[in-house]
Amino acid sequence: MTASAESQLIRCPSCGTTNRVPPEKLQQGLEPVCGRCKTLLRLSTNPPITVTDATFSAEVEGSPLPVLVDLWAAWCGPCRMVAPIVDQLSAELSGKVRVAKLNIDENPATPSRFGVRSIPTLLIFKDGREVDRIVGAVSKPAIVSKLKQYL
């Protein structure tokens, strides 16, 4: 039982499966992969994925996990305020929520499709459909409170 206590538990960012990773495997320099879907498991951080108009359907609407999508632009001051919070949530909620970022200047079709009129806008998807949205620069607890409803 002590061997399992020493193992690191890592949630897969793609399918949500909890994987037990023995420390000796990490010391050998092996990169852990999910036992179910074979996705590479990140040990320390899990940065948000970048989605585009072309990949949105597969990455967001096809995700088995709830998805938080940050719609942003480089010139947007409030977007830069929300970005570190989104990055933190991506790492903290890895395996429970998938976090994605979409640059609206480079990908105008998706914001238009969802009627996004101002940024930053955070869209929350579950089972392939938008279930909620947060508009404007809001605090981390406010975002977490909204997300908890869909976990």
Catalytic residue IDs: 76, 79
Per-residue 3-state assignment (H helix, E strand, C coil) for 25-73: HHHCCCCCECCCCCCECCCCCCCCEECCCCCHHHHHHCCCCCEEEEEEC
- Which amino acid is located at 85 in the chain? I
CA dihedral 10, 12, 18, 21 (to 10 degrees): -40
Report the C-alpha gap between 138 and 145 in whole angstroms: 11
Partners of 10 in the β-ladder? 19
Cis, bond preceding 141 (omega within 30 deg of 0): no
